[in-house]
Structures are given as structure tokens and as C-alpha cells.
Amino acid sequence: MNPAAALRDAGLAALVAFGLFAPLVGLRTDVSPTGGLFLRTRWTDVAILCGLVFAGRFLLSLWTGRRGLRPTAGPTPWTARLERLSTFVAPALLGLALVLPFIPGVERYELDIGILVLTYVMLGWGLNIVVGLAGLLDLGYVAFYAIGAYAYALLATTFGLSFWVCLPLAGILAAFWGVLLGFPVLRLRGDYLAIVTLAFGEIIRVVLINWTSLTGGPNGISGIPRPSFFGLPFDASGDPGTFAGFFGLEPSPWHRVVFLYYLILALALLTNWVTIRLRRQPLGRAWEALREDEIACRALGINVTTTKLSAFALGAMFGGFAGAFFATRQAFISPESFTFIESAIILAIVVLGGLGSQVGVAIAALVMIGGFELFRNLEEWRMLVFGAAMVVIMVLRPRGLVGTRTPTVALGQKRAISGDLVSEGHG
């Protein structure tokens, strides 16, 4: 774009800005000392804002004009670089996760963040089955997290069942609810599916708040039993019946944290292992085919109903596992932990990581949750930083961090498939 055109373009943008800012910023009602309202004008501020818009737009037009328009399709050097990197990233991250508690300098606080990040990695991987592989947009994933958490809390506090009995039960219950949600939404696609799943998430939360006799309502459930090391409780007493006593260690609260850390690491890796294995098998391939073209799937004899339900159920099951873990770690749960924002964060992790990519989701969870904690001292500004970072990622890598798809099988060499060919699913 030549300077004259850029100038004209910037002038137009400034005019639009003036139209917006004149009433919004220029005019302001204030309370006068006498108590009446009076109108205060701030034309200097408006001028400054319009000037900024003008300058910004002018520079932007010049910049894009100089660079010229580039086609967005085709692998960018970024993609190739990230691909090469990702072969090392996954083992490196796994190694780091395995030794984290023994790295000098890792204290309680760091390990707690590690547990939090891994919880979201697991939730992200669980949701990845539904959204990334099967292409069903689920905005109410937190409901299964809540079901898992409440299932463990209620079973443990009412019947005194141990964590290891409750964990599979929580997963099965969540999977059951996943199927229950799946049935009515089977025929819905895209936006409609998103709305219904969103409503499902809210319904579960509202029921948890209002069914006071069972769930304790907004007060939640407290005194949830902490997990034991296969029957040996973590206790400060040092009795032979406790973890510390049995292994002849000095009793320390550190043991429990490390145990919780490895527990969630194991659960997350289980999710990952199952997903990776299923992806290379007919069921996983059918999920991906469903995302690509549902009608073609039907013509090939794939039962679309059961395939969709299996994706819902499996995703929900891992959400339920994560929920049970959450309950045992916190020892207290209330409906407040299962608001829509949680669903949104998990979905954001999956989308930012790249739909269907396991490594991408793990990195996105690390960056989003870990980064969020890291910038805690920025206080309310961190939301802004966070939003800006998300926008930047989506502009630079619209298909997520790992936007390519790896084939599940190949006659020769597996080559990554560009994200432009892979569909996101229509619900």
C-alpha cells in the first residue's frame, strides 16, 4: 500500500474511532459537589485516542503493504521447525515430569503447581478424545469432572470406600453420564451441540447447588478422605501402619504431596496411553473419520451412534478419574470448582494445543496453567497478559501449537498432514 492510500485508510479508521470514542469517552456524567449530575467533556482524551488509532492504522498499513500478502496455506518454516522440535519435546517433558519431585529447589509450592498442571493435562487429553478426535464440540466437559469428584466424595464419606475402589466407580459413573448426555445430542451438530453440552454442564452444577440433602449444596462436601498408599495412610504419627512407619522414614507431609503428584502423573499417562493406542485402532480411526465426514462413515457401515457414544463415554471417564483425584487432593469440594470457566479453560487448552495432538495439549496446559500461576504477582493484569498471549498464538498458529496430523498407519514413511486438509468436525 502506498503512503497516500495508507494515509486515507488511517484517516477513515480515525473517523470510526471518533464516532465510537466521542460518546463513550468524550462525554461523562459526574456527581457535582451539590449532589446533582452534570456532564463533563473530555475532548483531549478523545483526541489522544483518535491520534493513536490513526498512527497505529497508518503504521500497520505501511507494514503489511511492505510485506505483501502471503498465502496462509502451505507449511511455514515455523511448522517444520516445530515438527522437528516436537520429536524431542515429548520425551524431554516426560523425563522432566518423572523426576520433578527430586530436582533440588522443587518445594511444596512448585510441586503443587505440577499437580495442578498435570490435572489439566489429563482433562485436556480426556477432552481431546471428544473434541480433537471425534470432532464433537463439548462445552460442558467440567460436568464429568464434577461427577467424578462428587462420586468419590459421596462414596468415600457415606460408605467409607477407599480411593482405589472409588476411582474406577467414579470413572464408570462419569462415563454413564457421558452416554446419557450423548444420546439426546447425537443428532445435533456444530453450534447446537455446543449449546446443549454447555447447558448440561450448567445443569449439573445447578443440581449440585440445589440438592442440598445429598451434596451439601453451596457448602460442598468436606472431610473427604485423603488417599492412602495402597492401604498405608500418610500420617505424622510414624506408626508401623502408616506410610512413613512402614518404610522406616521420617514422617513428613512431603510424602503425600509426592504421592499425589505421581498419582496424577500415572492417571494422565494412562489417559495418554489409551488415547494413543486407540488412535491406531479401528475405534480411534472411526472417531477421526467421523470428524472428517459423518455421511461417508455411515455409507461404509460404521455405526455412527455407538461410535459417538464411545467417544463421549471415554472422554467422560477420564474426566471422572480426574475429578476423583481432585476431590481426594483438596479434601473439600463445592460446586464453585466446577463453573463454566473450567470447561472453557480445558477447551482452550485443547484448541491452543492443536486438535487431536497429545504433545500440543500437554504444552498448552503447561503454558496456560503454569504460566497463569507464574504471573500470579501481576494480579489482575495477568488476565490481560493471558488473553493477549492467546490471541497471539491464534494469529501465529491458527490450528494450535501442533496443527498437523500424523497418520495412524503407513505403507512407507509417515508424513505429517497439513492442518488445512484436516477438518475440525461439524459437531
Partner 1 sequence: MRTDDRPERRDMILEVAGLTMRFGGLTAVDAVSFVAHRGDITALIGPNGAGKTTVFNCITGFYRPSDGAIRLHVPGALPVELHALAGHEIARAGVARSFQNIRLFPGMTALENLLIAQHNTLMAASGWGIGAVLGLSRYPRAEREAIEKARRWLDATRLIERADDPAGALPYGAQRRLEIARAMCTDPSLLCLDEPAAGLNPRESDELAQLLLSIRASGTSILLIEHDMGVVMRISDKVVVLDHGKLIAADAPAAVRADPRVIAAYLGQDEPEDTAA
Which residues contact partner 1 by CB under 8 A?
274, 277-278, 281-283, 285-286, 288-289, 292-293, 295-304, 310, 405, 407-415, 417-418, 421-423
- How many whole angstroms separate alpha carbon 156 and alpha carbon 315? 23
Q: Which three cell numbers stand for residue 165?
A: 475402589
Nearer to partner 1 (CB atom), residue 28 or residue 280: 280
SS3 labels along 385-400 = HHHHHHHHHHHHCCCC
Residue 420 CB, shortest distance to partner 1, in Å, is 8
Nearer to partner 1 (CB atom), residue 71 or residue 412: 412
- How many whole angstroms separate alpha carbon 131 and alpha carbon 15? 42
Residue 311 CB, shortest distance to partner 1, in Å, is 11
Q: How many Cβ atoms sit within 10 Å of the Cβ of residue 223?
A: 10
| H/E segment holding residue 31 | strand 27-31
Residue 275 CB, shortest distance to partner 1, in Å, is 10
Burial class (CB in 10 A: 0-12, 13-18, 19+), 341: exposed
- How many whole angstroms separate alpha carbon 166 and alpha carbon 160? 10
Nearer to partner 1 (CB atom), residue 299 or residue 395: 299
Nearer to partner 1 (CB atom), residue 40 or residue 415: 415
How many CA atoms within 13 Å lie on the side-chain side of 8? 4
- Crossing angle of helices 358-365 and 340-353, in 10° steps, is 130
Q: Let me know: does 368 contact 345? Beta carbons within 8 Å.
A: yes
- Tell me which residue of 166, 140, 162 sits closest to 228, measured CA to CA: 162
Report the amino acid identity of residue 196.
V
Task: Report the Cα–Cα distance between both ends of the chain, in Å, rounded.
Answer: 41
Nearer to partner 1 (CB atom), residue 15 or residue 276: 276
Nearer to partner 1 (CB atom), residue 382 or residue 426: 426
Nearer to partner 1 (CB atom), residue 8 or residue 277: 277
Residue 318 CB, shortest distance to partner 1, in Å, is 13
Q: Let me know: does 136 contact 111? Beta carbons within 8 Å.
A: no
Residue 314 CB, shortest distance to partner 1, in Å, is 9
Nearer to partner 1 (CB atom), residue 33 or residue 301: 301
Residue 283 CB, shortest distance to partner 1, in Å, is 4
Residue 422 CB, shortest distance to partner 1, in Å, is 3
- How many whole angstroms separate alpha carbon 126 and alpha carbon 322? 9
Q: Let me know: does 155 contact 224? Beta carbons within 8 Å.
A: no
Residue 349 CB, shortest distance to partner 1, in Å, is 22
